[in-house]
Amino acid sequence: MSLSNEELKSILEHKIALLENSHKEEKNISLEAVSSIVKILGLPNDFSALAHRYFQLHTPPSLIWLHLSECTGCSESLLRTSLPDFLDLIFDFISLEYHETFMSASGHQAEAHLETILEKKDFLLAVEGGVCAIDPFYLTIGAHGENGYEILQKCAKNAKTIFAMGTCSSYGGIQAAHPNPTKSIGISKVLEEKVINIPGCPPSDVNIIAALCFYILFEQDMSLDDQNRPLALYGKCLHDLCERKAKFEAGNFAQSFDDENIKQGYCLFKVGCKGPYAYNNCPKVKFNSKTSWPVAAGHGCIACSEENFWDDFGFYEKPMSNEFAYNDFSSILATEVVHNASINELNSKNILLDLSSDSSGIFYYNENKNNFLDFSFEANPKVFLNQFAKTKIAMSLVQNFQEQFQSHYNFIQENYSDESTTSTNVLDLFYFIYPFISGKKLENIDEFLDLALAYKFKHPSKFDFKTTINDQAKLDVSKSLRMPLIYILGGLDKEAIAFGLVFSLKEHLKQALKACKNQHQKDQILIHSHHEKLLKIFWDLTSI
C-alpha cells in the first residue's frame, strides 16, 4: 500500500533527526538537482529542503548494476544525466559498487569486489537486460563461466530492493521479440523477489535516478501500476503530454517523413507514432540532459515502455491499421452458450445490463425499478458537425475531414436532417460513428461488431469517454464524438476505430456496473441483448 505525503514526510524527518544526532559530515549537494528529482516524483515543494538535507548527511547506499541480455543503452542514458551530474550521482547520492561496463578494465578485481558487496547483504540491485533462464548458456559470461541466470539469482536473493532498468529487464525487450531464439524474458518472471520496472528503450536518466532516489529517501516502494511501473513516472499517457497534441486534435497529420509540416509541429500519428498507446513521461523529462526526445526530433514514439512493443504495435513507421499488422490478435468469440436474461429476471439481488435496440441501461430494484446509467448524446452526425465546429481547432478538424474524406462528408450532409436527435441508447453510438468511417449508414449492429472483431491489434485506439459516479453513473461521450474524424484522418482503418469504440464502451460500462453493484449491494450481473454477437462480446462484464 502506498503511503500518503504526510507519512512520507514523517519518515524523512525521522531519518534526518537520526543523522543529525550522529554528527555526520555534510556533503555538498546541489539543491537544484534535488528539487528536480522531487518535482519528477510528484512530491510537494516542501520536500525539496528535507530531501536536500537528507542527501547532505546520508551514507550513500551500495548499488550493484548487472548487465544481462541488452545493448547498454540504459547505462548510456544514465551517463548523460546533468541534474545531478553523473559523478555526483555515483559518489554522493549512491555508491556504485559494481557495473560490468564501467569496470571492465578491472577484471578479476571487479568480480572479487562484487562478492564482497554480496556478503554484506546491504545493497540495491539494478538489472539492465533480459535473462535467458530456459537456455542459460546464451548468457554465460566471465572467467568463471557463470550464466546470467545464476548471477541474477545470486545478487537478487539478498538485495534490499530490485530495479529492472529498461524494457529488456522489465519485459524481455528486443531479444524477446518473435521468434525469441534465446527465450529471453523479463527478470520478474524468474525471481521470487519483487521487482520495480523502469521500462524504456532506453528509459530516461531522470526516471532511473528518480526511482533510485525515492527508495533511498524513504526505503519504501513507490505507488505502482499493474505492470509494477512507478505511477509518478509512468502514470500518464505519453500522448496527453505531447507538444504535438493540438495538431492531433485539429487533424493536422504529417503525411510522410519528408513532409515539411513536421517542422511546423504536425502530429506524427499517421507516420506511426504510438504515443496514444504508451505510458511514460518522455515529453516532460526528455533525454540527453533534457535536450530533446524522439517526437520533438521528428520521429514518432514506438511505445518502447510497453510490454512486447516489438511484436504488438506493428510497423513502427505506420499507423495501427490491419494493413500494417504482422501479427494477428483479432478477437475470437466464445463458443459456449451465454444466458440472455430478460427484464423479468430482475430482482432485489441482481443488476441487468440492457443492451437492446429499443432501450439500454443498467437496471436494479430498490423498491422500484431504477436505471443507474445516465447517458445521452447528439445522435445526428450532421447536427454534431455543425455544433462541434466552434473553436479554431474543431473547425480545422472538420475542414480536414471535409477535404480528405469528401464523399463521407457529403453523404452525411445529404442524408441526415438538420434536426437535433438526442439518444439515450448506447447502441446508437455504433450507428452514429459508422458514416464517418464508411460514408454510408449502418444497416445492422453485427456489421459494426464484425469490424471490431476483425481488428488485428490488441491495443485499442480509445475514445475519451468520461464516467462520473454519484447516485448514478453519468457516461459523458460528447467530447469523444470527434475521435472517428481524428482517427480516420490519422490513417486508422474502420476495424481499428470500431474496435476502439467497443473497447472504450466496455471499459466505461464496467466502471458503472461495478459502482452500481457496490453501492446497492447486489450479488449478480445479468445481461440482455437482441444481438448474439453483442451478448458474447460484453458477456465478461457479468463476472465483475
pLDDT in the model for residue 366: 85
Whether residue 410 has pLDDT greater than 80: yes
Report pLDDT digits (tens) over 318-365.
999 999 998 999 988 877 788 999 989 999 999 999 998 777 999 999
Report pLDDT digits (tens) over 27-71.
999 999 999 999 999 999 999 999 999 999 999 999 999 999 999
In this structure, are residues 5 and 43 in contact, taking their beta carbons and an 8 Å threshold?
A: yes
Mean pLDDT of 260-280: 97
Least confident window among 163-177, 335-349, 474-488, 510-524: 335-349
pLDDT in the model for residue 144: 79
Instruction: Report how far residue 64's alpha carbon sits from residue 117's, in angstroms, rounded to the nearest whole number.
Output: 8
Q: How many CA atoms lie within 13 A of 143 on its CB side?
A: 8
Return phi, psi of residue 302, to 5°: -110, 15
Q: How far, CA to CA in Å, does 380 sit from each of 38, 125, 432, 484, 515? A: 49, 58, 7, 14, 30
Q: Looking at this protein, which amino acid is placed at residue 480?
A: S
Mean pLDDT of 161-181: 96
Rg (CA), the chain: 27
Residues recorded for the chain: 544
Mean pLDDT of 139-167: 92
In this structure, are residues 484 and 433 in contact, taking their beta carbons and an 8 Å threshold?
A: yes
Query: Residue with C-alpha cell 446509467?
Result: 373
Return phi, psi of residue 314, to 5°: 70, -165
Nearest of 209, 127, 226 to residue 167 by alpha carbon: 127
Confidence of residue 251 (pLDDT cuts 50, 70, 90): very high
pLDDT in the model for residue 331: 85
Instruction: Report how far residue 536's alpha carbon sits from residue 527's, in angstroms, rounded to the nearest whole number.
Output: 10
Q: Global pTM?
A: 0.94
Instruction: Report how far residue 477's alpha carbon sits from residue 132's, in angstroms, rounded to the nearest whole number.
Output: 46
Which spans in 244-308 are helix H? 245-249, 282-285, 294-297
Share of the chain above pLDDT 70, in %: 100
- For the chain, the average pLDDT equals 95
Q: What is the 3-state secondary structure (H, E, C) of 183-237?
A: CCECHHHCCCCCEEEECCCCCCHHHHHHHHHHHHHHCCCCCECCCCCEHHHHCCE
pLDDT in the model for residue 336: 76
Specify which residues 299 forms β-bridges with. Answer: none
Residue 393: helix, strand or coil by DSSP?
A: helix
pLDDT in the model for residue 139: 87
Mean pLDDT of 438-456: 97
Specify which residues 362 forms β-bridges with. Answer: 353
As to burial, measured by CB atoms within 10 angstroms (0-12 exposed, 13-18 middle, 19+ buried), residue 460 is buried
Q: Taking CA 498 as the corner, what is the angle to CA 240 and CA 408, rounded to the nearest 5 degrees?
A: 95
Confidence of residue 1 (pLDDT cuts 50, 70, 90): low
Conformational region of residue 322, where left means phi above 0, alpha means psi within -120 to 50, and beta covers everything else: alpha
Q: How many CB atoms lie within 10 A of CB 463?
A: 24
Report pLDDT digits (tens) over 510-528.
999 999 999 999 999 999 9
Instruction: Report how far residue 166's alpha carbon sits from residue 346's, in angstroms, rounded to the nearest whole number.
Output: 50
Task: Calculate helix-pair angle for 494-519, 428-438, nearest 10 degrees.
Answer: 160
Q: How many CB atoms lie within 10 A of CB 309?
A: 24
In this structure, are residues 253 and 262 in contact, taking their beta carbons and an 8 Å threshold?
A: no
Q: How many CB atoms lie within 10 A of CB 539?
A: 17
Report pLDDT digits (tens) over 286-314.
999 899 999 999 999 999 999 999 999 99
Q: What is the dihedral of CA 80, 82, 86, 90, to 10 degrees?
A: -130
Instruction: Report how far residue 391's alpha carbon sits from residue 297's, in angstroms, rounded to the nearest whole number.
Output: 29
